[in-house]
Amino acid sequence: MYWVFGCFYYLQLMIKSHDQLIHEKYTGILHRSFKTKLDLFLFNQCIAGTMSNEISIEIFNAFDITDDLIEIYQQAWQLAPGKKLPGNKLSVTEIDHSILEWEKNNPSLKSTLLSGYENHFKAIVFPFETFKEFYGNNSAERECHYCELSEMEFKFLRHQKGIYTKRVRGYEMEIDRLNSNREYTRENVVICCYFCNNAKTDEFTHEEFKQIASPGIKQVWFHRINLRLDNPIKSEEIPIEEIELKVDCNAKAWERIKKLPREKDELE
């Protein structure tokens, strides 16, 4: 009876923390999305010579990040300091400076635009319900787009001391943009682990990194999991990860862990 009550209590904790997790992730992508849009918006105004301290929420929200703009923006990042974009009288250093100045001089306009964008993001760009469906309900449903490991398998590795990072990130799946110069939309995002996200940076395209992670990184994880399955750590004191593992686990996820290829050759 107490056991049942205890499980219910832990389930409640899990439900609560899952809700918190989803909201945290959603708030994170909303702010990063705003930052991307504002950066591109200001860059566009700056190269057009139309920078202004009066921007309406409607104009900002309606602003579209086009492929052409992304290309020019990319070119600007590739230029050495002091160099100019073709046909532009400002150097990239001056463009950078103007954008920084705008941000310094317009903190209240920036927060007004953020509030307006927040509504726009929730209603059109990436509605919360769409995001919830995309992010999944539990660890077994979330799988890294690049190395293909599930959050469940990372939890197993954590529990079995198979993760060595000293950082706090890496416990849960993150959200990566296929094109980091675009906003977070359902079409522009994939779920990925912290390790792939961190290694990919903004250097590799998603196609390039997919080749690096699978079979490369995937093989390493599977090798670590297999070592732990052969010789599991058993502890009398059950750490919190294991409780979480049990509550969050479903039969499908365990089946998958146990069916991992035993030899590297068997990997795709």
Q: Which is nearer to Zn ion, 30 or 189 (CB)?
A: 189
Helix (H) or strand (E) holding 175: strand 174-177
Q: Taking contact as CB under 5 A, which single stretch among the options 24-32, 105-113, 158-166, 191-199 is the one that binds Zn ion?
A: 191-199
Q: Taking contact as CB under 5 A, which single stretch among the options 54-62, 113-121, 171-179, 195-203 is the one that binds Zn ion?
A: 195-203
d(CA 139, CA 142): 5
d(CA 261, CA 229): 12
Burial of residue 142 (CB within 10 Å: 0-12, 13-18, 19+) is buried
Q: Quick check: 151 and 198 in contact, CB under 8 A? A: no
Q: Which is nearer to Zn ion, 26 or 221 (CB)?
A: 221
Q: Taking contact as CB under 5 A, which single stretch among the options 127-135, 169-177, 192-200, 241-249 is the one that binds Zn ion?
A: 192-200
Cα dihedral across residues 176, 180, 184, 189: positive or negative: negative
Which one of residues 47, 92, 147, 190 is an interface residue with Zn ion (CB under 5 A)? Answer: 147
Omega within 30 of 0 (cis) for the link into 232: no
Look up residue 225 and give its two tokens.
């999991």
Look up residue 111 and give its two tokens.
């927060």
Q: Does position 144 bind Zn ion by CB under 5 A?
A: yes
Q: Quick check: 199 and 212 in contact, CB under 8 A? A: yes
Which one of residues 38, 113, 193, 245 is an interface residue with Zn ion (CB under 5 A)? Answer: 193
Which one of residues 41, 117, 126, 146 is an interface residue with Zn ion (CB under 5 A)? Answer: 146
Q: Taking contact as CB under 5 A, which single stretch among the options 74-82, 112-120, 144-152, 170-178 is the one that binds Zn ion?
A: 144-152
Q: Taking contact as CB under 5 A, which single stretch among the options 30-38, 53-61, 180-188, 193-201 is the one that binds Zn ion?
A: 193-201
d(CA 121, CA 130): 12
| Shortest distance in whole angstroms from residue 176 CB to Zn ion | 9
| Shortest distance in whole angstroms from residue 146 CB to Zn ion | 5
**Which backbone phi and psi does 150 adopt, to 5 degrees?**
-90, 160
| Shortest distance in whole angstroms from residue 212 CB to Zn ion | 10
Q: Which is nearer to Zn ion, 216 or 239 (CB)?
A: 216
Q: Which is nearer to Zn ion, 117 or 209 (CB)?
A: 209
Site residues, Zn ion (CB under 5 A): 144, 146-147, 193, 196
